[in-house]
Structure 1
Amino acid sequence: MKTINADTLVSKLANDDALQQNLSIAELVEKILSREEGILTSTGAVRATTGLYTGRSPKDKFIVEDEETKDHVEWGEVNQPISEDKFNNLLQKVTDYLSEQDELYSFRGFAGADEKHRLSIKVVTQFAWHNLFANQLFIRPTDEELKNHNTDFTVISAPHFKADPEVDGTNSETFIIVSFKHRIVLIGGTEYAGEIKKSIFSVMNYMLPQKSDVLSMHCSANVGEEGDVALFFGLSGTGKTTLSADENRRLIGDDEHGWSQNGVFNIEGGCYAKCVNLSEEKEPQIYNAIRFGSVLENVVVDEDSRLPDYDDTSLTENTRAAYAIEHIDNIIKPSIAGHPNTIIFLTADAFGVLPPISKLTKEQAMYHFLSGYTSKLAGTERGVTEPEATFSACFGSPFLPLPAATYAKMLGEKIDQHDVQVFLVNTGWTGGSYGEGSRMKLSHTRSMVHAALEGELNNVDYNQDEIFGLHMPTTCPGVPSDVLSPKKTWSDANAYDEKAKELARKFHNNFSKFDYVPTDISQAGPTYKS
């Protein structure tokens, strides 16, 4: 089947007057307000709401199965196949629908701060606020780059177009479909802007390892005064953005990175931070980054003062702020640095049994990378209303088209090559499981991460946890010693043991699917076996 030319397709969507291309931030804000897509808040940021869908729709994601993808994608519940015919028919319907709109918005920019591994993208949206979102989250071109911009991949977003599942081959009215052959992402039936960002991340996760031998990673990254680089892996809500925004370190990026032969580079040009319970006291860099040009998503705002209420979760707990990385004062530009010295795996353990910090052996690092354990937090996906234990390979399986082994093998090689230290940090619950214990204090987590990055945990004594086999430091500056041992924070030691054994069993059951990994890695998980 002939490849579709996305640029030709876009040119047919609207005439020159209707297609608004690379508008300035001020122009987009004016459009948003005049079209009543959002309101202006007291911070200067635009606030928009997304209606029914306030999180990602993982069951509505598809990849077109064709000669390009059929032998490379790890097909299954995460990467659902859809035929090329179904995609083409749906694309035609969306094109016809968008061609009837009075205005459309086009953003041209890049994914990938390293020019050697950069993807030129075009984002065409029905909403002006979605285009402002793209402007904040992707890399904005210079005037010269815009003149010479040749699109590698196109995103087409039509949130008000709804699919017919019986006819279109989707699971619901919503669809996020990637065609690697035609280099098009097609989105419809959802107003949640995060689908735009994550679809391009999925594209990069397919292309970088295969085309450039670059490890793509769901992680944040920052760099210290001495040039030491740290990576923070974790799913949404585990603290990647919060912990990487450190006034003593320069931010590389908060969510998506590539690791090439030359070092680490940010895939994005902005940050997409959770802002539930956001305060200037606890997270000053994020709080102060929300200004003119930023987008607040599903944040409740006072009608009179237009003050955002970050504590109000009546719309969703998955409230978000999208802002350009330049809104953070302490950044590195361009968003490129050397090879990592330290890797932090972040987990929000709702069982409340994992240590707040533990140092991993190489084998344990590979085990926990493949496991990707955390608790899915409320609001990040449709239907999630309270924390749920989940395992997401490589701390990002919803966005990984290739087999997990591809990314794990590359990470293991890079850890060996660059002698990287790896720590597992629990930002979840302590003193009991969800509903009984309390969330780990951010101040304690920051102290532990600081100690790991500064080498303050290199020469302390460690105890090995009898159920998980993890090595826990006995002391850490700024953290009470009892906090470092999770069992000591529980009032009922027997209850802790039962809950810990329950989680250990979940680890073993999940890891049984990785029957291809070496024995030293498969045996690096919990030492308790039922």
Structure 2
Amino acid sequence: MSQHKEKPMRLLRGDEHSNYGLEHHGLSNLNNIYWNLNTPALYEQAIRRHEAILGHMGPLVVRTAHHTGRSPNDKFIVQESSTEKDIWWGKINRPIMPESFDALHRLMGLHLQAQNVYVQDCFVGASPKHRLPIRIITQNAWHSLFAHNMFIQATPEELLNHVPEFTVIDAPKCHANPAQHGTNSETFIIVNFAKKLVLIGGSSYGGEIKKSIFSVMNYLMPQKDVLPMHCSANIGRDGNTALFFGLSGTGKTTLSADASKTLIGDDEHGWDEDGIFNFEGGCYAKLIKLSPEAEPEIFETTRRFGTILENVALDASTRRVDLMDATFTENTRGSYPISYIPNATRTGMGAHPTNVIFLSADAFGVLPPIAKLTKAQAMYHFLSGYTAKVAGTERGVTEPQPNFSACYGAPFMPRHPERYAELLGNKLDTHNADTWLINTGWSGGPYGVGKRIKIAHTRAMVNAVLDGALKDVPLETEPFFGLQIPKHCPGVPDEILNTRNTWPNPADYDAQAQKLAGMFANNFKQYAEQTTPEILAAGPSA
């Protein structure tokens, strides 16, 4: 049997190895520190510690208790002199004092003294120019596997000289005292840009680890004139790159994971002077009602050794999972290495995009299935970042609710949205990318009345965009948003392209469209003073 290098893989005792940077976190004298364990070793730890169950065909099935999604009200940024002028302070980026951060940092060190601790040294950013070495320190073995899946793995040689520029400490069982620490609850996710450190406590949801590093990249990259993006990306058969912006549930992962395309990544990317690069080394797909017919590549990952299934229902006797079951949450998730998608590029990089697509799941049933955007409209919709919540998904939501999230990712954007919009505008100008708005939501009426646009039709529209089949198609302008709608699209019935034609009563559509246009205009008031007249004029007539 071949002998593996032990240093990156084995259990190191605190007295053997005290200078790996853990002394800054009160962790240097721990008895059990597991450094850079691989997937089988982390499986053994997670199952032995009763953190997870082994599912049929090999996935690791875990529960995240009452935190089945992110906790936006518990996210903070330390307010300190070196960065405070750059932060977009407000409801999303809440300030917390350095003293509170330091107290929680000490508390986490004390809490972990009696725990096993797992360390993953890895990277974020596929571009060699912008690659950031990071360290993820976790209390749970399955969280260490999550980091192993989601970030870019270091080679054994790289591990020997790995010096992290940012560190995440994740301890779900460590809780804050709101009165003492200035938090909103016992849960806390705090970024300290000065100390290059993230603290996560009180939540077992794996996405907090991933998104905290995304927030770090969203702060750092604009300093290099790199646009950080909440988008998926793929490469077409002709070699052209496409970007898919969108909030959760709009189809970023589904539409980019196409067997006929080469996947760059499903969620987080940078756009620099050389092109597009993935931030991550894995995917974090939403799994509820996933089917092998509609999404075969993603479905196959749910039956792989190494995949983590969060809050997916499991038959205790057969160990088979049920992806249709939302008993624990609608937000069931799968974490897996991007290499599990057979057509994914191993470089994590692509050329400058030819097409940029904004995805919106419009539950009001107003937006057209596809529209071509002008440069000003692209900027308007990027700043708006619209999708909709449907009735029944949240307590008290009885009709569709608009969800405006600047840059299609406001919760992860530390800087003002105008900075990211400025970078996008410069990129679009420099590289002449076409921009499109695609509605993956409802047509023929709002949610509960109309029907969701067929995924087969949406895929046909995406393929038409990427293959250049819409370049010479005549366009018509709808009156409420000024969007230019193709009159024909291969593989899509002409009658559904203009959403107004799908409603039984066109007057009802007009009233609904006017209502949604007013919501857009009201939301955009916050950007009116910073943006240009051309972008303001590109919005809907409300």
Confirm or deny a common fold (TM above 0.5).
yes
Distance 1:9 1:264 in 2: 37
TM-score in terms of structure 2 length: 0.94
Distance 1:218 1:316 in 2: 23
Query: Once the two structures are superposed, what CA deviation does each residue of 1:89-128 show, in whole Å capped at 9, x if it has no partner?
Result: 1111111111121x11111100000111011111111111
1:424 aligns with 437
Q: CA deviation at 1:12?
A: 3.6
Distance 1:237 1:282 in 2: 15
Distance 1:405 1:252 in 2: 26
Which stretches in structure 2 are left out of the alignment for 5+ residues? Answer: 1-18
Distance 1:383 1:193 in 2: 27
Q: CA deviation at 1:382?
A: 10
1:166 lines up with 2:202 in the alignment = no
Of 35, 40, 53, 1:39 maps to 53
Say what the alpha-carbon RMSD is for the aligned residues: 1.8
Distance 1:8 1:266 in 2: 28
Judging changes above 3 Å, is the alpha-carbon distance between structure 1 residues 200 and 193 closer, same or farther for their aligned structure 2 residues?
same
2:175–2:187 contact (8 Å) kept in structure 1? yes
Distance 1:399 1:16 in 2: 33
Amino acid at match of 1:241: T
Distance 1:227 1:145 in 2: 31
Distance 1:68 1:314 in 2: 45
Of 153, 163, 183, 2:166 maps to 153
1:96 aligns with 110
1:235 lines up with 2:230 in the alignment = no
Of 44, 47, 50, 1:30 maps to 44
Q: CA deviation at 1:381?
A: 9.1
SS of aligned partner of 1:117? coil
1:176 lines up with 2:189 in the alignment = yes
1:277 aligns with 289
Distance 1:359 1:491 in 2: 25
1:441 aligns with 454
SS of aligned partner of 2:233? strand
Amino acid at match of 2:383: L
In the TM superposition, 1:222-371 aligns within 5 A as 222-290=234-302, 291-371=304-384
Judging changes above 3 Å, is the alpha-carbon distance between structure 1 residues 269 and 378 closer, same or farther for their aligned structure 2 residues?
farther
Amino acid at match of 1:97: H
Amino acid at match of 2:101: F
Judging changes above 3 Å, is the alpha-carbon distance between structure 1 residues 387 and 308 closer, same or farther for their aligned structure 2 residues?
farther
In the TM superposition, 1:490-501 aligns within 5 A as 490-501=503-514
2:47–2:54 contact (8 Å) kept in structure 1? yes
Judging changes above 3 Å, is the alpha-carbon distance between structure 1 residues 394 and 382 closer, same or farther for their aligned structure 2 residues?
farther
1:388 lines up with 2:401 in the alignment = yes
SS of aligned partner of 1:346? strand
Judging changes above 3 Å, is the alpha-carbon distance between structure 1 residues 503 and 9 closer, same or farther for their aligned structure 2 residues?
farther
Judging changes above 3 Å, is the alpha-carbon distance between structure 1 residues 380 and 11 closer, same or farther for their aligned structure 2 residues?
farther
1:50 aligns with 64
Q: CA deviation at 1:225?
A: 2.5
Of 69, 79, 87, 1:73 maps to 87
Judging changes above 3 Å, is the alpha-carbon distance between structure 1 residues 385 and 109 closer, same or farther for their aligned structure 2 residues?
farther
1:516 aligns with 530
Q: CA deviation at 1:388?
A: 3.1
1:13 aligns with 27
Q: CA deviation at 1:456?
A: 0.6
Judging changes above 3 Å, is the alpha-carbon distance between structure 1 residues 376 and 198 closer, same or farther for their aligned structure 2 residues?
farther
1:64 lines up with 2:78 in the alignment = yes
Query: Once the two structures are superposed, what CA deviation does each residue of 1:404-455 show, in whole Å capped at 9, x if it has no partner?
Result: 0111001001101101000000011111112222221111100000001111
Judging changes above 3 Å, is the alpha-carbon distance between structure 1 residues 91 and 376 closer, same or farther for their aligned structure 2 residues?
farther
Q: CA deviation at 1:387?
A: 5.6
Judging changes above 3 Å, is the alpha-carbon distance between structure 1 residues 453 and 44 closer, same or farther for their aligned structure 2 residues?
same
Q: CA deviation at 1:68?
A: 1.9
Distance 2:162 2:430 in 1: 36
In the TM superposition, 1:108-119 aligns within 5 A as 108-119=121-132
In the TM superposition, 1:172-211 aligns within 5 A as 172-210=185-223
Amino acid at match of 1:255: D
1:6–1:183 contact (8 Å) kept in structure 2? no
1:57–1:381 contact (8 Å) kept in structure 2? no
Judging changes above 3 Å, is the alpha-carbon distance between structure 1 residues 180 and 511 closer, same or farther for their aligned structure 2 residues?
same
Distance 1:186 1:387 in 2: 35
Distance 2:395 2:513 in 1: 28
Query: Once the two structures are superposed, what CA deviation does each residue of 1:267-296 show, in whole Å capped at 9, x if it has no partner?
Result: 000000000101111101101123111100
Amino acid at match of 1:39: I
- Which segment is superposed worse, 318-327 or 38-47? 38-47
Q: What percent of counterpart residues are identical?
A: 52
Amino acid at match of 1:452: V
Distance 1:431 1:383 in 2: 25
2:363–2:390 contact (8 Å) kept in structure 1? no
Distance 1:16 1:82 in 2: 29
Amino acid at match of 1:468: F
1:397 lines up with 2:410 in the alignment = yes
Query: Once the two structures are superposed, what CA deviation does each residue of 1:11-44 show, in whole Å capped at 9, x if it has no partner?
Result: 7426464111110100000111111111111131
1:108–1:120 contact (8 Å) kept in structure 2? yes
2:14 aligns with none
Distance 1:378 1:187 in 2: 31
Distance 1:381 1:148 in 2: 47
Q: CA deviation at 1:379?
A: 10
Query: Once the two structures are superposed, what CA deviation does each residue of 1:34-77 show, in whole Å capped at 9, x if it has no partner?
Result: 11111111131101011111011111100000012211101000
SS of aligned partner of 1:512? helix
Judging changes above 3 Å, is the alpha-carbon distance between structure 1 residues 71 and 380 closer, same or farther for their aligned structure 2 residues?
farther
1:162–1:173 contact (8 Å) kept in structure 2? yes
Q: CA deviation at 1:375?
A: 1.6
Of 504, 520, 525, 2:517 maps to 504
1:56–1:380 contact (8 Å) kept in structure 2? no
Judging changes above 3 Å, is the alpha-carbon distance between structure 1 residues 31 and 378 closer, same or farther for their aligned structure 2 residues?
farther
Q: CA deviation at 1:492?
A: 1.9
